[in-house]
Each structure stands twice: as C-alpha cells, then as structure tokens.
Structure 1
C-alpha cells in the first residue's frame, strides 16, 4: 500500500465515522444504566435495543419520584437515565441534575405527538422524551363492593364493605392532590382552610386502610386487597388478572400525568443514553413498551404496535362524562410543596 492510498483510506474511514455519528446511527457498544419505576419497562423492548446496538442495559427500580430524586441528589448514583414524572421534571432541571441532550432535535422527534412536542414542563423537549402517560384514580374489586366507584370517597370515606381492605399507593403528591380535589380545592392550592380539611380527611381515613404500598398489580389481581388508589395502566393489568377489578374516574377530579425519559448530568454512557432516547421515539418501540406497562404514550403511530385490547380499554379511553374533571399534573410552588410535605409527614406517623 502506498502512502497516498493509505492516506485516502484513512480519510474515507474518518469521513464514514463522522457521517455515522452525525446521523445518529453510530454503532454503539458498552453499557447503559437506567433508573426507573418498577415493573414499568418491557423486557422485549430492552432486548431489541441491546441486540441492535450491542449495549448491555441494566435497570434498577425505584418506587416513587421522591425516592429517585433523593438518590440522584446524593451524587455518584452510577445511573445514566431516569424517568421522572412531569411535575417533578422542572425540579430536576432547576437543580442541574440533567444533561441537555436536545431530544426534540433527534431523528425520531418527528414522531412525538403534537400535543406533547412542546410541553410546559420541558419546552422544546431539550431534556426529555415521552415514556408513558396516565391518570390517578381508584381501583375496586366489584365482588366486594357494587356501589359507585367513580369517587375518591372509596379512599377517603371508605364504604363499610371495604373498610380494612383498602390500600393507598404512597406517592405523596398523588394522594394529597386527590384529597385536595375531594375537598373542593384546586391542585397546588395554598389555601390553608382547604389544606386543613385535607389533613383532617387523611388522618380520619387512614384507620380504614389496610396498607400504604406500591405492589397493587399482584395484590389486587389476587384479591388480597379489594380497593386502592392507583394508576390506570396498573388497573388495566389488574383487570387482566382478575376481571372483577374495575377502574374508577373520581367525579371530584383526577390528575393526568406523564413520565419522561431523561439523561443524568453525570451519566457515564452519554452516547448510549442518547441512542436510547431516540430509540424510544420510534413508534414500534414505544408501542412495544406500552404493550407491557399498559399505559398510553406520547408517540404518534405507536398504537399500531399495541395489543388490540388497548384501543377501547376502559382504563385508557376516558368516558365522556369524566373528561371535563381531569386536571394536568404540574409542579407546585416550593411553599405549597412544603405544606404538602408537612401533611404527608404527619400521615406517616
């Protein structure tokens, strides 16, 4: 080989690598460490990513937004990615915990549904991509209770048939938001009279609960508990295990939320994390993930890759009479968040 041809080949190789990197199709290898809600990630979808990019994915579970935030705040978590809810995402951003990866400019960003392309919690999608979206409501085993399930009264004024059989999923903001709406307040209210009613409601209701835990899919499905506050995708999976389980849309109001995939500022595997963000904006991959966790997502066209039973599922398709009482999840001001935390601390005693 002459010096000239060797230089030409080296130049072509460098050009090829540069082009692959610029188009986002670079061949990746190595690792990716994801910190996510438990039982929320499709193993089939992860295997597809691993096979395509030769990246070993490790998933570590958490059970609440507060748990995830506290862990990462400590530093040195070793995680590359996390999936916070939209009302917590501005906190992560403001505290400088996230890397600005500009997923809104990635190749597959064109697949984000228009209503999710420029959300208030992450304008322009500079940090996040949609993972899932859902509703906070109630689930009831109708073999134990045949009354109205479309009310927070199931949790906060428990019917006699359900006393001692009710669980509350201990996500602080979800529980307090529900109690605020039940007492006629608005989400993120700082009204002291409303919050006093919220505190009194929670403390009075707690003796009628049997537990405050996250493992509702198994326990509602098996009949170990008969009602719970819960998310609609979880309720869907419970119904698949036990047809007597129904999801209720509280007429007093309920919160619509989304969870979003972001990259940590101190991520060790940044390029692999970016590949995964782009990968999750492909309709087939987002649909595969929804087929597992049973929530909708913000990727247009993903419905074609979901099971047929998701199209008109009562947990996914909001009845017309309850559409108007849904309110968007939002970040409460720090002073209101402090009041929420004070009430929550008292409830835990």
Structure 2
C-alpha cells in the first residue's frame, strides 16, 4: 500500500509540475499588455500568461525586492534597469534561447542602460508630455506651464500622473536645469513651482486614457500613447511637447532572478521580439517599440500620429532621464515627499 501511495503521489506531483510548466507570470504596467498578444502566445505555445499590474517603477521595485512575489518577468523603465541589475534582481539573458534578439533595432541595441541588450528585450518607448482638451483650453500646450502655472481655464481640471521621475524632472527642466540635477537653486525653483501649482490640480492619479476620453479631466501630464488612445475617443484631446524639456523613455522586459518559469519566460521573450508580435504590443497601447521590421505590421494611424511622430521643432527638447546619482535621488525623493503631503 505504501508503495502504491508513493507511486500515486509521484504521478500527482508530475501532473502538477506539467501544469505549472504551462504558466508564466508577467509583472507589467497597467493597461499596457495586449490581450490578443497573450491569446496568440498561448495558441502557439500552450503557455498561459497571467499579468499583474503596477502603476509606478518604485512600486514594482519595492514588490520585487520584498520577495515572495511569484513573478517571472518585469518591465522596468530604462533608468531602473541598472538599479535592478545592481540589486541582483534580474539576470543576464541566455541569448542562445532568444534567436529573435537579432531583431532589436540597431538604435535600441547598444543602449547606455543595457549595453548589447544583455539583460532586456524592448517592450515599448515613448515620451511624457501634456495632454489637453483643446475644447476647454486653446492656448499653447507645448509648455510645462500647463501644470506648473496652470491657466485659468484648466484650474481644478488638470491631473498630474504620480510618476516621481517624470514630474520632478519636468519641473527641473522647466526651471532651467537638467534631469537628475543636484543644483540647489534649480531644485528649489522646481520644488516651489510644484508646491505652488498643486492647489490648482484636480488630482494626481492614473487612468488618463479613460478620464480624458470621458471629459472627466480637461488636461493631464501624461504619456503619449495613452494620449493617442484618448484622442481616438475624444478628438479634441491634443498632445503637447514641453519646449522647456520632456522625458523620453523605454520600457523593457527582464528575467527575474527568482523566476519559477524560466523556459516559458524565454519563449515569451523570443516571441515579443518577432516583428509582427511587437506590432501587436504597439497596436494595443499605442506606443512605438524597438523591434526592427515591426513597422510593416503597425496600424496606419500610428505612422503619422502626432503623439508618436515627434515634431521636428520639439525633438531637441526630449531627453532620456539617466539613472540618477544617490544624491540627486535623495533630493528628488524629498521634493516628491513634500508634494504628497
């Protein structure tokens, strides 16, 4: 009887392991993963992807650092990749398992935050700017004055997405500094402007796609793809590129050190680096991606969208925010903490 029970237990354990092998846990930004992409992946591989959402890089980092999360893949923004590496939270990729690694566009291959793409595969990239309902406000929207010196028409009607790096660094650039500044005078000017403007804001929240679409908000500091989705639902929504400076960013997928479904993760990483599949990611969230050849599969309306194609006059104002020094991060966190009070 003991032998029979033992054999039964082994069979049951094997069945459970087989079931687990058909699973993958993706930790990603909210409203950012194409359901059609996941359906196609499951159809081709038999692997079911479960997506858990987060709403900021800091929240994702804290959750991963705490351990016991059960996630296999995470999608940090570029300046956080080095932090994940330095903390030992993600591992170098075995490129022999990702033949589609060669599809990464040359301009996105040897990037400062991940030389040679040793740790990450591109997900999407974009900009952070200003979304405005031009039926409410018809003035210049290509300025951070929209949220730092709120026009009368937008007072009590504007939202600011609560992503610390974007908000504080846009204020710093508006104040004449550069991102990750350690200049006390610039930082004070940025801090004072943020605190003075906050009473004129309606909220600091996510969900801009829906709330701009529904006229719940008249403006928001927001991301370009989200703004495009809002414009498709509400044509009077326009996207502004602050001339004082705005962030350019890229989110990429990384394999967590404590991943439980490693082989499934590699299949997914290779899958998203296929041009047609990368285009599916972009088609859903409305951001560009870093995979060469995906353009042929992109929706026509993205090829000329003003939120995706940066106007020539504003290109020079866009900047990748680096991984800030500990001192700069301390200053930024102090400003952010005060702003949250």
* TM-score greater than 0.5 by the shorter chain: yes
Structure-2 change in CA distance of 1:197 and 1:121 (3 Å): same
Report the secondary structure of 1:33's partner residue.
strand
User: Which whole-Å CA distance do the structure 2 matches of 1:287 and 1:127 have between them?
Assistant: 21
Structure-2 change in CA distance of 1:128 and 1:240 (3 Å): same
Partner of 1:285: 277
- Superposition CA RMSD, Å: 1.1
Name whichever of 90-99 and 321-330 sits farther off.
321-330
Partner of 1:41: 33
User: Which whole-Å CA distance do the structure 1 matches of 2:202 and 2:132 have between them?
Assistant: 14
Deviations 1:223-259 (A, max 9, x none): 0000000110011000011000000010101111000
Partner of 2:311: 319
Partner of 2:142: 150
2:120 alignment partner, one of 128, 131, 134: 128
TM-score between both structures, scaled by the size of structure 2: 0.93
1:217 alignment partner, one of 202, 209, 218: 209
Once the two structures are superposed, the pairs formed by residues 219-258 of structure 1 within 5 Å of their partners are: 219-258=211-250
User: Which whole-Å CA distance do the structure 1 matches of 2:136 and 2:315 have between them?
Assistant: 27
Deviations 1:236-283 (A, max 9, x none): 000011000000010101111000001110000011111111111100
List runs of 5+ in structure 1 lacking aligned partners: 1-27
2:97·2:270 contact (CA, 8 Å) conserved in 1? no
User: Which whole-Å CA distance do the structure 1 matches of 2:312 and 2:66 have between them?
Assistant: 45
1:112·1:298 contact (CA, 8 Å) conserved in 2? yes
Once the two structures are superposed, the pairs formed by residues 200-211 of structure 1 within 5 Å of their partners are: 200-211=192-203
List runs of 5+ in structure 2 lacking aligned partners: 1-19
Report the secondary structure of 1:131's partner residue.
strand
Report the secondary structure of 2:282's partner residue.
helix
User: Which whole-Å CA distance do the structure 2 matches of 1:321 and 1:333 have between them?
Assistant: 30
2:21·2:261 contact (CA, 8 Å) conserved in 1? no
1:42·1:288 contact (CA, 8 Å) conserved in 2? yes
1:158·1:205 contact (CA, 8 Å) conserved in 2? yes
1:29·1:53 contact (CA, 8 Å) conserved in 2? no
Deviations 1:138-160 (A, max 9, x none): 00000100000000000000000
For the pair 1:89 / 2:70, whether they are aligned, the reply is no
**Aligned-residue offset at 1:106:** 2.5
2:180·2:321 contact (CA, 8 Å) conserved in 1? no
Report the secondary structure of 2:304's partner residue.
coil
Report the secondary structure of 1:87's partner residue.
helix
Q: How many correspondences in the alignment?
A: 322
Partner of 1:119: 111
Once the two structures are superposed, the pairs formed by residues 1-349 of structure 1 within 5 Å of their partners are: 29-103=21-95, 106-349=98-341
1:104·1:124 contact (CA, 8 Å) conserved in 2? no
**Aligned-residue offset at 1:327:** 1.0
**Aligned-residue offset at 1:99:** 1.9
User: Which whole-Å CA distance do the structure 1 matches of 2:75 and 2:319 have between them?
Assistant: 21
**Aligned-residue offset at 1:329:** 2.4
Report the secondary structure of 1:51's partner residue.
helix
Structure-2 change in CA distance of 1:152 and 1:238 (3 Å): same
Partner of 1:22: none
Structure-2 change in CA distance of 1:233 and 1:103 (3 Å): farther
User: Which whole-Å CA distance do the structure 2 matches of 1:115 and 1:145 have between them?
Assistant: 37
Deviations 1:284-310 (A, max 9, x none): 000011000000000011111111000
TM-score between both structures, scaled by the size of structure 1: 0.91
**Aligned-residue offset at 1:30:** 1.3
2:131·2:220 contact (CA, 8 Å) conserved in 1? yes
**Aligned-residue offset at 1:335:** 1.0
**Aligned-residue offset at 1:102:** 3.7
Flag as ranges the 4+ runs of structure 1 deviating above 4 A: none
